[in-house]
Chain A
Amino acid sequence: MEQRSLTLSPPELSEDALGFFRWGRVAGHVLVTNDAGDWARLSEAEFADLLAGRIADGHPRFAELQGKGFLRDGLDLDALAARMAQRNRHLRRGPYVHVVTLTVRGNARGANGRALDGLDMTPETAAQVAEFVLQSTSPAVTVEFQGHTGEPLRNFDVLRHFVEVARTHNQRSTGKTLRLRVLSNFTALTEEIAEWLIANEVLVTTSLDGPAALHDWNRTWKEGSAHADVVRWLDYFQRRYAELGRDPAQWHVEALLTTTRRTLDAAREVVEEYATRGLQTLGLRPLDRARFDRDTWAAIGYTIEEYLEFYRRTIDHILEANRRGIVLAERTASIILTKMLTSDDPGAVDFQSPHGAGTGQIAYNVDGRIFPSDEARIVDAMGESFFELGHVRSLSIQDIVRHPTVRAIAAASLLDAQPMCADCWNKPFCGFSPVRNFITQGDLFGQRPHCVECKEHLAISTRLVELLTDDSDATRQETLKRWTAGSVHTPTDGRAFPESP
Chain B
Amino acid sequence: MSERITFDRSLYLPEAVEAAAAAYTDHARIELTPGADAVVAVISDVLEHDPRLVAHAFCNHALHETIARRRQAAVDEAG
22 residue pairs bridging A and B, Cβ less than 8 Å apart = A386-B68, A386-B71, A404-B70, A404-B71, A404-B74, A405-B71, A411-B63, A412-B60, A412-B63, A412-B64, A418-B60, A419-B52, A419-B57, A443-B60, A443-B64, A444-B67, A445-B57, A445-B60, A445-B61, A445-B64, A447-B57, A449-B49
List of A residues within 8 angstroms of B70 by Cβ:
404
Q: In whole angstroms, how far apart are the Cα atoms of A420 and B71 in the complex?
A: 27
List of B residues within 8 angstroms of A419 by Cβ:
52-53, 56-57, 60
- Whether B75 sits at the interface, judged by CB under 8 Å, is yes
Q: In whole angstroms, how far apart are the Cα atoms of A411 and B64 in the complex?
A: 10
List of B residues within 8 angstroms of A411 by Cβ:
63
Q: In whole angstroms, how far apart are the Cα atoms of A449 and B48 in the complex?
A: 12
Q: Give 19 new A-B contacts, CB below 8 A, not counting A404-B70, A419-B60.
A: A385-B75, A386-B68, A386-B71, A405-B71, A408-B67, A408-B71, A411-B63, A412-B63, A419-B52, A419-B53, A420-B53, A443-B61, A444-B67, A445-B57, A445-B61, A445-B63, A445-B64, A447-B57, A449-B49
List of B residues within 8 angstroms of A447 by Cβ:
57
A-B contact count (CB 8 A): 32
Shortest CB-to-CB span from B12 to chain A, Å, is: 13
List of A residues within 8 angstroms of B53 by Cβ:
419-420
List of B residues within 8 angstroms of A386 by Cβ:
68, 71
Shortest CB-to-CB span from A318 to chain B, Å, is: 36
- Interface of B, helix, strand, loop or mixed by DSSP: helix
Shortest CB-to-CB span from A164 to chain B, Å, is: 35
Shortest CB-to-CB span from A441 to chain B, Å, is: 10
List of A residues within 8 angstroms of B60 by Cβ:
412, 418-419, 443, 445
Shortest CB-to-CB span from A381 to chain B, Å, is: 17
**Using an 8 Å CB-CB cutoff, how does the interface string of A391-412 with B read, 1 for contact, 0 for none?**
0000000000000110010011
Q: In whole angstroms, how far apart are the Cα atoms of A22 and B44 in the complex?
A: 28
Shortest CB-to-CB span from A472 to chain B, Å, is: 37
List of A residues within 8 angstroms of B63 by Cβ:
411-412, 445
Q: In whole angstroms, how far apart are the Cα atoms of A445 and B51 in the complex?
A: 18
List of B residues within 8 angstroms of A443 by Cβ:
60-61, 64
**Using an 8 Å CB-CB cutoff, how does the interface string of B37-79 with A read, 1 for contact, 0 for none?**
0000000000001001100110011011001101100110000
Q: In whole angstroms, how far apart are the Cα atoms of A405 and B71 in the complex?
A: 8
**Using an 8 Å CB-CB cutoff, how does the interface string of B18-37 with A read, 1 for contact, 0 for none?**
00000000000000000000
Shortest CB-to-CB span from A413 to chain B, Å, is: 11
Shortest CB-to-CB span from A419 to chain B, Å, is: 4
Shortest CB-to-CB span from A71 to chain B, Å, is: 28
Q: In whole angstroms, how far apart are the Cα atoms of A478 and B63 in the complex?
A: 45
Q: In whole angstroms, how far apart are the Cα atoms of A404 and B61 in the complex?
A: 17
**Residue among A385, A443, A444 with the highest chain B CB neighbour number at 10 A:** A443
Q: Do B57 and A444 touch across chains, with their CB atoms under 8 A apart?
A: no
Look across to chain B and name the residue whose beta carbon is closest to the beta carbon of A408.
B67
Query: Within A403-436, which residues are at the interface with B (CB < 8 Å)?
Result: 404-405, 408, 411-412, 418-420
Look across to chain B and name the residue whose beta carbon is closest to the beta carbon of A420.
B53
Shortest CB-to-CB span from A416 to chain B, Å, is: 12
Query: Within A329-387, which residues are at the interface with B (CB < 8 Å)?
Result: 385-386
**Residue among B67, B70, B71, B74 with the highest chain A CB neighbour number at 10 A:** B67
List of A residues within 8 angstroms of B75 by Cβ:
385
Shortest CB-to-CB span from B55 to chain A, Å, is: 8
Shortest CB-to-CB span from B69 to chain A, Å, is: 12
Q: In whole angstroms, how far apart are the Cα atoms of A12 and B49 in the complex?
A: 27
Q: In whole angstroms, how far apart are the Cα atoms of A445 and B70 in the complex?
A: 16
Q: In whole angstroms, how far apart are the Cα atoms of A327 and B71 in the complex?
A: 48
List of B residues within 8 angstroms of A445 by Cβ:
57, 60-61, 63-64
Q: In whole angstroms, how far apart are the Cα atoms of A79 and B28 in the complex?
A: 45
Shortest CB-to-CB span from A177 to chain B, Å, is: 35
List of A residues within 8 angstroms of B49 by Cβ:
449
Q: In whole angstroms, how far apart are the Cα atoms of A349 and B53 in the complex?
A: 26
**Using an 8 Å CB-CB cutoff, how does the interface string of A160-176 with B read, 1 for contact, 0 for none?**
00000000000000000
Look across to chain B and name the residue whose beta carbon is closest to the beta carbon of A405.
B71
Q: In whole angstroms, how far apart are the Cα atoms of A445 and B52 in the complex?
A: 16
Look across to chain A and name the residue whose beta carbon is closest to the beta carbon of B62.
A445
Task: Return the 4 tightest CB-CB contacts between A and B, nearest first.
Answer: A445-B60, A419-B56, A408-B67, A443-B64
Shortest CB-to-CB span from A471 to chain B, Å, is: 36
Look across to chain A and name the residue whose beta carbon is closest to the beta carbon of B20.
A443
Q: In whole angstroms, how far apart are the Cα atoms of A444 and B69 in the complex?
A: 13
List of A residues within 8 angstroms of B68 by Cβ:
386
Shortest CB-to-CB span from B59 to chain A, Å, is: 9
Q: In whole angstroms, how far apart are the Cα atoms of A8 and B41 in the complex?
A: 33
Look across to chain A and name the residue whose beta carbon is closest to the beta carbon of B27.
A447
